[in-house]
Chain A
Amino acid sequence: MSATINKAEGSPPGPAMVNAAADTVPKMSRTRLFWRTLLSRKTVMVSAAVLVLAFLTAILAPLIAPYDANAPDLRSALKPPSAGHWLGTDALGRDVLSRIIFGSRVSLAVGFVSVAIAGSIGMLLGLVAGYAGGRVESVIMRCIDVLMSIPLIILALFIAALIGKGLGNVMLAIGLGMMPSYARLTRGQVKSIKQLDYVTAGVISGSGKIKNMFRHILPNCLSPIIVLMTMNLGMAILTEAALSFLGLGINPPTASWGAMISDGYNHLRTLPLLSLAPGVAIIMVVLAFNIVGDALRDTLDPRLRGAL
C-alpha cells in the first residue's frame, strides 16, 4: 500500500504517465479551445444555427412540409400567399413553401456530395503528383491546368450536357468541375511536407511509398483541404442552382431552388414571390456556409487567410 502511495505521490512520474497526461489534458483543452474560438463571434453562432435549421428542415421535410411538394393541383394554380399557402402556389398549383422545404434536400445533398467528390479525387491526384514529382507531376498538373482554364459553370454545364440531367449527374459534374483546386492545394502541401525530417525518417526506416503518402503526408495536409471543402459547399449549392436555372440540373418535378427561380421568372409581373422566395433560401444557406468556412479557416490556421 505504502509502495503504491509512494509511487503515485512521492516519486517522480514515469515516462508512461507523462505521455498519458500530455495526451489527455492538452487534447481536451485543444478541442474545447477550437470550439470556443470557432463559435466566439455572434455571426458564426447565427450561421451555425441557420445550418442546423437547414439540416433539420432537410431531414424532417416530409413531416414539416404542409403539402406534397410534387403533387400538382391545377385548380389552385398561381395563387398569392394566403393562410392555406403561406408563400402561394406555382403554375402547377404546388405549394411554394413545401417545395422550398423539399428543395433544401437537393441543395444540401449536392453541396456535400459534390464537395466530397471534388475533395477525394483532387486530393488523390494532388498527392500522387506532389509525391511522385517529375513527369507524373507534369502530366497531372497540365491536365489540372486544362480543367482550371475553363470556368466552373461552363465546365459543369459541359459535363452535365454530356452525362445528362439528374441529381447524381449534377453532383458529379460540379464535383469534377471543382476538383482541380483540391489537386493544386494538395500538391503544394505535399511538396512542402515531403521535405520535412519526419518524412525522410519514414523513408529511411523503410516504410513504403504508399504508406508514406497516406500515413505520414496526407494527414498533415488535411487542415487546409477541410477548410476549402467547407468554403466550397456554398459554391456547389450556387452552381447547382445555376445549372437548374439553365435547365440542365435536377429533373422535374423534384423541387430544386434554382429551377423554382427559373419557373417563377415567367410569372414575375404577377407573382414575384415564386422566383424571389427560393433565392432567399439559397442566400441564407450559402452565406451561413461561407461564414462558418471563414471562421473554420481562421481557427484552424490563420495563416491561410487570403490564401484560401
Chain B
Amino acid sequence: MSTFILRRVSQTIVVVLLVTVLVFAIMHMMPGDPVLLFLGPDASVEQIEHYKQQFGLDSPLPVQYFRWVENLFKGEFGDSLVYRQDIGPLIRAKLKVTLTIALPAFVIAAAFGMLLGILAAIYRGRWPDSFITVLANVGMATPTFWLSILCVYIFSLRLGWLPVQGFTFPSEDFALAVRRMILPVSMLALGPMAVFARQTRSAMLEIIRQDFIRTGRSKGLGERRVIYVHALRNALIPVVTVMGMQLGYMLGGSVLIEQVFVIPGMGNMLITAILNKDYQLVQSTVLVISAGISLCNLLVDIAYGYIDPRIRIS
C-alpha cells in the first residue's frame, strides 16, 4: 500500500510541476505586452521599463520561470498587475468566495444525484426512471449560464423572490447570504447532479445483477438492506471517481456562474486576469485550480486503494 501511495504522490508532484511549465509557457506566448496594456498607450519608455523591472518581466523567460517556482515554494505568488496587490492573499480571498458557492453545490449535487440515481435504478423501466433519465439528459444538455439567466428572469425579475445578483458571506448576513446563494448554488449543482444520477443508476443496475445480491435476497435480507447496504456500497466506487472529476468541473463551471451572478470569486478573477493579460495572476489561479483537482484525485485514488485492493495492484 505504501508503494502505491508513494507512486501516486510522486505522479501528482510531477503533474503539478508540469502544469507550472505549461501555464507559464502559455501565458508568455500570449500576444500583447501586459505592462503596455496596464499603463495604457500613453506610457513613457521610462515608465514601461520601471514596471517591467518591478514585476521582473525584463529577465529571460527561464529565469522568470525558476524565480516564480522558487517563490511558489516560499508561498509567494508575486503581485497582480490588475488588482495591484499580493496574489497569495488575493487568491485566498477569492477562493473563499468560490468555495462558499461550490461546496454546498457539490454536497447537494452528490446527495440528490445519488438519490435520483438509486430511485431510477430501483424503478427501472417505470415512470420514475423515465422521468429522472429525461431530467438528467436535459440537465446535461442545458448550458448552465442560460438556465441561470432563465431563473434570474423568473425568480428575480418576474416574481421578485430572490436578488438578481451579488454575494454576501453567511457570516456577515446569514439571511441575505442564503437568499443570494440559492440560485448560483443550485445552478452550479445541476450539471454534476445529472452526471451523478446517471452514473449511480448505471452502477446500481450493474451491481443489482451480481450474484451476491441474489444471495442476499435469497437468504431473506430485506429489500432496503440489499439496496442501501450491499448494492449501494459497491455501486459507489465508480461514482466516487466521477466525484473527483466533477469537483474540477464545478471550479470550471463557477467561471460562468460567477459571471452571470456577478460573484467576486476565482472564476470572475480569472476572466478579468485573462482579458487584462495579468500573467502572474492567471498562472497562479490556474495552478491553484489544477493543483486542487490533482490533490482531490490523489485522495480519491488513495481512498480507493484502501477500499478495493485490485486498484492498488493495477
- Given known A-B contacts A150-B19, A161-B274, A306-B199, A242 and B145 have beta carbons under 8 A apart: yes
How many Å from the CB of B125 to the closest CB on chain A? Answer: 13
Residues of A contacting B274 in the complex (Cβ-Cβ under 8 angstroms): 157-158, 161, 248
Q: In the complex, which of the residues A147, A246, A291, A305 contacts B137, with contact meaning CB atoms closer than 8 Å?
A: A291
- Of B106-114, B213-221, B251-259, which binds chain A? B251-259
Docked Cα-Cα span, A245 to B259, in Å, equals: 9
Verify if A133 is at the interface (C-beta below 8 Å from B).
no
How many Å from the CB of B137 to the closest CB on chain A? Answer: 6
- Given known A-B contacts A150-B19, A150-B286, A283 and B141 have beta carbons under 8 A apart: yes
Give the nearest-CB partner of A275 in chain B: B149
Instruction: Let me know if A287 and B138 touch, CB within 8 A.
Output: yes
Verify if A146 is at the interface (C-beta below 8 Å from B).
yes
Docked Cα-Cα span, A261 to B147, in Å, equals: 11
Chain A at the B interface: SS class: helix
Residues 161-172 of A, flagged 1 when their CB comes within 8 A of B and 0 if not, give: 110100000000
Verify if B36 is at the interface (C-beta below 8 Å from A).
no
Docked Cα-Cα span, A240 to B11, in Å, equals: 32
Instruction: Let me know if B271 and A241 touch, CB within 8 A.
Output: no
- Given known A-B contacts A153-B252, A154-B255, A272 and B153 have beta carbons under 8 A apart: yes
Verify if A143 is at the interface (C-beta below 8 Å from B).
yes
Residues of B contacting A143 in the complex (Cβ-Cβ under 8 angstroms): 18
Docked Cα-Cα span, A153 to B259, in Å, equals: 14
Docked Cα-Cα span, A162 to B275, in Å, equals: 10
Residues of A contacting B26 in the complex (Cβ-Cβ under 8 angstroms): 158-159, 162
Docked Cα-Cα span, A276 to B282, in Å, equals: 32
- Given known A-B contacts A238-B143, A268-B157, A290-B140, A306 and B149 have beta carbons under 8 A apart: no
Verify if B284 is at the interface (C-beta below 8 Å from A).
no
Instruction: Let me know if A162 and B252 touch, CB within 8 A.
Output: no
How many Å from the CB of B12 to the closest CB on chain A? Answer: 9
Instruction: Let me know if B157 and A269 touch, CB within 8 A.
Output: yes
Residues of A contacting B143 in the complex (Cβ-Cβ under 8 angstroms): 238, 241-242, 245, 258, 261, 279, 282-283
- Of B41-49, B52-60, B169-177, B289-297, which binds chain A? B289-297
How many Å from the CB of A282 to the closest CB on chain B? Answer: 6
B residues with CB within 8 A of A: 11, 14-16, 18-19, 22-23, 26, 29-31, 137-138, 140-143, 145-147, 149-150, 152-153, 157, 199, 202-203, 206, 238, 248-249, 251-253, 255-256, 259-260, 270-271, 274-275, 282, 286, 289-290, 293-294, 297
Name 6 A/B residue pairs within 8 A (Cβ), A-sorted: A242-B256, A248-B274, A261-B146, A268-B152, A287-B138, A290-B141
